[in-house]
């Protein structure tokens, strides 16, 4: 184990303060010093896998934050303290008191992220929502987390191979593309290369070896290529920096796969970057003209200055034929553009005043995050949210224009409906058609870069559920779902109002308990379904709310089955749910009222967990036609030799000794036991129910057949919701 002496610590602190003063506009030395000392005190007894003191990890994270994504001194303090609350006895309240509520809030945000970024194993949508909220609230949360992950990747060699692969995959899947979305180009490239190294070590080493073997040759060529260009730019009085640009290993790997070629044939291994010291974008185009005078351009020009990427990346990309016919890629950008390309949101913050931009500009960096979660319902499946999140990270962009020439960036495969919602939610809601490049097209038409899209609206048009099958953006999906949910709520309120007016007109009062029984008898899952049916006028309320007391009593009496069903289920050991869905609440569907012994299956609902249905339930069969993926394997929990309670409904002519016959018939077959019996007579006719312990459904059916043999019994059937 390596110990840090007091002199070592003083040297480290001095180095950190020096870096902060070099890169930050303001530095609160006292605050950084106190954070440094607290971080050391909290971690002084902890060591990393490498044998180094754990304190060196938050220290290096602070160095990265201060030098590679410089924002402010608060970010440096948070970097020093980011593991203190999670790994030691110090609390968030303590951090707040010792430093400030601002520092504590960001530290808390970083701590929450640590438990949420777990690839596809995210299980709680609310935790995921907190992650996104924390990022939008203060972007420094995610910047510190990027620095934390970058240092972990730089020291990944000291952990076991299995952990290396898990962390590398998580970095490749989430962190690297996420860093790209925040404009952190330099960090994105390093994360990708390091992750590639641990996921595909042989391929990484092979490409690295090939690049190094030709390094001198490449450097000589770049120097020879740049000489006449440099001379020309000086003649034109331009202030600039010109240099060779190293191609990243993972980027080369992707090109080798995509182009099915060898490393010798990748043209942009020879690449240079020209950084203009002036902040005038027009000078970039001037330099472009100079390069095209010297070298013949080919059709690989991209203008990211006029149309920046979504992460605000700006640059001109031009490919020319250089010396010996080799293709050379040239990137041309201003100094500010370069800073933003390398350091993303941190550089944007730094140069904000120079740009004289409004207060909302900074939030544009995280608008795509807001699109993901802003209107997402709390009940939405967390895997769907994660899927959308990762889709947004990886999707290529297209850009389309309004008839007035306004630019809208959208994910690849977006449709006119996505475009409409990008303009405004109201435009999306009222979208009835679209013209693309002057031609009317279906709403599910895929758009392409450069398309001019004219949205046709109508006040009478409302969002259609079918739109959810083809829209791409989270903003469109969430807005459509939100509207549909609000519309359903309006219909429910309308149905409730009709119901209450009808009760008042008939001067009728129905107790809540009795109302619940009536709703269940009509085979509705909940009150909302009942009120929706009322609003759609599919129920005869006069028949339900009759002045006749006998009819009301009939509705209520028929619900004796509910009591029996609850009793039958409580006598069983419960439901076994597939382990993938364990922990999710479940309840029994009212439409088919399954009881122990019935073949059953689970169905995932939104907001009500898993509903247990009988396999032959008509409602279930109808629902799964379009949602088979929502079925969940479930079984009754039974022990070997265990029995369950079943019900038998029985009617017949009231004759002496009939009750004795029923009891003897049941108990004499296969050691059957009666749990309860309820018989009533009226007008020489008896009716009732018997609760009996049986081994399985075959046992129950044989009992029913034996009872039917008595000539005075004219109806025997299983007691369930349909026979009550």
Give me the active site residues, please.
Answer: 86-87
Sign of the four-CA dihedral 202, 207, 208, 209: positive
Strands across the sheet with 431-436, in order?
439-441, 431-436, 453-457
Q: Cβ(282)–Cβ(308) under 8 Å?
A: no
Beta strands 271-276; 327-334: pairing state:
parallel
Q: Is residue 382 a contact partner of residue 122, using CB atoms and an 8 Å limit? A: yes
The distance in angstroms from the start CA to the end CA of the chain is 76
The radius of gyration of the chain from alpha carbons, rounded to an integer in Å, stands at: 35
- Dihedral, CA atoms, 30, 32, 34, 37, nearest 10 degrees? -140
5, with CB counted inside 10 A (0-12, 13-18, 19+), is exposed
The residues, any chain, with a CB within 8 Å of residue 405's CB and separated by 6 or more, are none
CA 36 to chain centre: 36
Residue showing tokens 């001194």: 73
What phi and psi, each to the nearest 5 degrees, are found at residue 355? -80, -15
155 burial level (CB within 10 Å; 0-12, 13-18, 19+): middle
Cα separation, 128 vs 280, in Å, equals 41
Tell me how many helices (H) and strands (E) the chain has: 31, 21
Residues 6+ apart with CB under 8 A from 454: 402, 403, 434, 435, 436, 438
Q: Round to whole Å and give the CA distance between 518 and 538.
A: 15
Phi, psi of 564 (to 5 degrees): -65, -45
Cβ atoms of 103 and 95 closer than 8 Å: yes
Is residue 644 within 8 A of residue 568, CB to CB? The reply is yes
Residue among 314, 481, 462, 309 at smallest CA distance from 388: 481
Q: Count how many Cα atoms sit within 13 Å of the Cα of residue 174 in the half-sphere of its side chain.
A: 24
Return d(Cα 390, Cα 393) in angstroms, integer: 5
C-alpha angle 612/616/620, rounded to 5°? 55
For residue 283, the number of C-alpha atoms closer than 13 Å in the C-beta half-sphere is: 17
> In angstroms, rounded to a whole number, what is the distance separating the alpha carbons of residues 327 and 266?
9
């Amino acid at each position: 184990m390596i110990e840090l002496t007091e002199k070592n610590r003083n040297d480290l602190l001095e180095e950190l303060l020096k870096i902060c003063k070099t890169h930050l506009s303001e530095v609160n030395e006292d605050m950084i010093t106190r954070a440094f000392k607290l971080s050391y005190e909290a971690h002084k007894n902890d060591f990393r896998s490498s044998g180094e003191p754990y304190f060196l990890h938050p220290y290096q994270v602070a160095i990265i934050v201060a030098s590679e994504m410089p924002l402010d001194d608060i970010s440096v303090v948070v970097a020093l303290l980011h593991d203190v609350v999670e790994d030691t006895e110090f609390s968030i309240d303590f951090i707040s008191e010792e430093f400030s509520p601002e520092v504590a809030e960001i530290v808390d945000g970083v701590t929450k992220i640590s438990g949420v970024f777990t690839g596809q194993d995210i299980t709680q949508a609310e935790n995921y929502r907190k992650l996104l909220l924390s990022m939008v609230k203060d972007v420094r949360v995610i910047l510190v987390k990027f620095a934390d992950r970058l240092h972990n990747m730089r020291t990944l060699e000291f952990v076991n191979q299995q952990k290396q692969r898990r962390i590398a995959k998580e970095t490749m899947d989430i962190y690297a593309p996420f860093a790209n979305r925040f404009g952190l180009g330099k960090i994105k490239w390093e994360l990708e290369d390091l992750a590639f190294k641990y996921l595909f070590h042989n391929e990484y080493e092979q490409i690295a070896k090939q690049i190094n073997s030709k390094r001198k040759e490449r450097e000589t060529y770049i120097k020879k290529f740049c000489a006449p260009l440099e001379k020309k730019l000086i003649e034109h009085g331009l202030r600039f920096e010109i240099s060779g640009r190293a191609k990243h290993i993972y980027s080369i790997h992707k090109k080798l796969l995509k182009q099915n070629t060898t490393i010798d044939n990748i043209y942009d291994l020879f690449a240079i970057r020209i950084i203009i010291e002036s902040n005038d974008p027009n000078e970039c185009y001037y330099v472009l003209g100079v390069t095209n005078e010297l070298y013949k351009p080919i059709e690989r020009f991209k203008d990211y200055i006029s149309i920046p990427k979504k992460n605000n990346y700006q640059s001109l990309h031009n490919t020319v034929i250089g010396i010996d016919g080799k293709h050379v890629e040239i990137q041309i950008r201003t100094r500010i553009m370069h800073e933003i390309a390398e350091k993303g949101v941190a550089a944007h913050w730094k140069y904000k005043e120079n740009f004289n931009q409004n207060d909302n500009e900074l939030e544009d960096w995280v608008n795509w995050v807001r699109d993901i979660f802003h209107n997402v319902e709390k009940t939405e499946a967390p895997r769907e949210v994660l899927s959308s999140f990762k889709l947004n990270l990886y999707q290529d962009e297209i850009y389309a224009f309004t008839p007035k020439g306004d630019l809208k960036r959208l994910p690849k495969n977006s449709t006119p409906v996505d475009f409409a919602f990008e303009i405004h939610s109201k435009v999306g809601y009222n979208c009835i058609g679209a013209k693309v490049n002057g031609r009317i097209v279906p709403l599910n038409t895929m758009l392409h870069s450069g398309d001019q899209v004219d949205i046709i609206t109508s006040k009478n048009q409302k969002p259609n559920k079918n739109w959810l099958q083809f829209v791409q953006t989270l903003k469109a999906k969430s807005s459509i779902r939100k509207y549909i949910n609000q519309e359903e709520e309006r219909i429910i309120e309308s149905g409730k109002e009709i119901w209450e007016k009808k009760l008042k007109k008939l001067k009728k009062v129905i107790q809540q308990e009795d109302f619940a029984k009536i709703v269940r008898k009509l085979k509705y899952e909940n009150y909302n379904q009942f009120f929706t049916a009322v609003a759609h006028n599919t129920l005869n309320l006069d028949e339900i709310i009759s002045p006749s007391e006998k009819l009301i009593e009939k509705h209520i009496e028929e619900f004796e089955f509910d009591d029996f069903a609850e009793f039958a289920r409580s006598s069983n050991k419960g439901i076994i749910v597939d382990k993938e869905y364990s922990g999710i609440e479940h309840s029994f569907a009212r439409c088919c009222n399954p009881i122990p012994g019935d073949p059953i299956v689970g169905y995932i609902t939104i907001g009500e967990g898993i509903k247990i249905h009988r396999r032959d339930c008509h409602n279930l069969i109808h629902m799964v036609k379009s949602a088979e993926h929502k079925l969940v394997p479930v079984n009754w929990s039974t022990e070997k030799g265990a029995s369950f309670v079943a019900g038998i409904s029985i009617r017949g002519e009231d004759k002496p000794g009939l009750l004795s016959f029923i009891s003897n018939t049941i108990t004499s077959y296969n050691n059957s036991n009666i749990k309860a019996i309820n018989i009533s007579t009226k007008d020489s006719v008896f009716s009732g129910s018997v609760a009996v312990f049986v081994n399985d459904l075959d046992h129950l059916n044989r009992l029913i057949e034996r009872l039917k043999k008595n000539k005075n019994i004219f109806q025997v059937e299983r007691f369930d919701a349909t026979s009550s």
